[in-house]
Amino acid sequence: MSNKIFKLIVLLGFLLFLHDKSFKESYYNYDSIPYVASAYMLAGNDIESSHRYAWDLLKKRAHPAVFNDLCCNSSYRKSMHQNPQAFGSHLPSYRTKSLYILLIRLVTDFLGTDEFNALQIITFSSVVLMTVLTACLVFNRDILIYLSIFPLLFLMQIIPLTRLLTPDGLIAFMMVLSGVFFLKGSRLAGYSILLTTILIRQTNIILYALFLLFELRNRNQLRFWLLLSIGLLVYFMNSSHFDSLGYWKTYYSSLISMPDTFIGFEPTLKFSLLITTLIGKLDWMLGNAELNRLISLMLLLFVICLYKAKKSAEKDLDDFLIPLFFVTGSLISYILIPFPDFRIYAGYLMASAITLLAKYSQSNRT
């Protein structure tokens, strides 16, 4: 059996395993409910009917125990289930992911399915595309390099990512795709993809801005300011159109105290609270057997990428800056909003590790 056939068999087996763990083991997370409601609103429905539709559809699909957990295991979820106005007050957090919501609507209508199925299809397809893209990137490298991508993806929590009905799988694919374009020297394509991810999660503007440093490095200041202005315009237009909750409301509700409704919710911004929350979350995560893996991977990748960039020849520096920018983006995002959730940073870390592996194996081969 030739190496190429063996590699294809391993890839196919891995993809079948992902299918088994995503489609055969149904999973519902709370965030999928407002995503379904937001996509339903794109069909011209109001908040009340969208609220009713999303919860009724979940009740038909999910096991009663799962439904009861998602609707009633906290005062916040009870409020979201029972009060359409309270539910609607939190929808901007989801509707600002406008490209993702649009994609849910398009997949639902095109395939004639429901929104929960569309979420599952988008997630699974994104992870499959990311895996195939990664395999293609190192397909002609040494077989040990090729085989290393699969435990690497397991380490990056690809199984939970494949099951989540959130945009994180799509973001991971797009970040890896942008990384490949940057490695191939197609910076405009890379910038365009990162710009698009702002419409899937707004904090991705941090990563977009980091990669624009390539323009400053090449003394293209006019291009830098033009591209940055476009990114900021996309960010603020999207935020304004969907009435974004803003940084502090998102931070406070996610990390300090979740209100039962966002109507009249105006927490006071305190810089000291930002510092104490960051230190507290970091301390708790480092002491947690599962969550300390996230912090460890961030710091390990950052140190390795920084070392390779520092030691690289000038002709290779740009390529080693690519994984460094991805992992730096994850660190900045964590410092700004330290979510104790691997999925938020999975795309950054996967793109960093995959582009680092691709460049490292190429350098050693040549």
Which pTM does this prediction carry? Answer: 0.94
- Whole-Å CA distances, 240 to 244, 245, 362: 6, 10, 44
Determine the Cα–Cα distance for residues 180 and 135; give it in Å rounded to an integer: 12
**Contact predicate 114/40, CB 8 Å:** no
pLDDT category, 364, cuts 50, 70, 90? Answer: low
Q: What is the model's pLDDT at position 26? A: 73
Residues 345-353 have a mean pLDDT of 95
Residues 32-53 have a mean pLDDT of 94
What's the length of the chain? 366
Take residue 45 and report the two structure tokens written for it.
Answer: 């429905």
**Count of other CB atoms within 10 angstroms of residue 266:** 9
Determine the Cα–Cα distance for residues 232 and 230; give it in Å rounded to an integer: 6
Q: What is the model's pLDDT at position 363? A: 57
Determine the Cα–Cα distance for residues 327 and 301; give it in Å rounded to an integer: 7
Q: What is the pLDDT of residues 177-227, one digit of tens each?
A: 999 999 999 999 999 999 999 999 999 999 999 999 999 998 999 999 999
Determine the Cα–Cα distance for residues 14 and 12; give it in Å rounded to an integer: 5
Domain count, the chain: 1
pLDDT category, 366, cuts 50, 70, 90? Answer: very low
Determine the Cα–Cα distance for residues 6 and 68; give it in Å rounded to an integer: 46
Q: What is the pLDDT of residues 321-330, one digit of tens each?
A: 999 999 999 9
For residue 70, give the 3-state DSSP assignment.
helix
Determine the Cα–Cα distance for residues 225 and 221; give it in Å rounded to an integer: 6
Domain that includes residue 118, residue range: 3-365
Token pair 């990384």 is at which residue? Answer: 179
Determine the Cα–Cα distance for residues 17 and 280; give it in Å rounded to an integer: 37
Exposed, middle or buried, 180 (CB in 10 Å: 0-12/13-18/19+)? buried
**Contact predicate 138/179, CB 8 Å:** no
Take residue 19 and report the two structure tokens written for it.
Answer: 């299918």
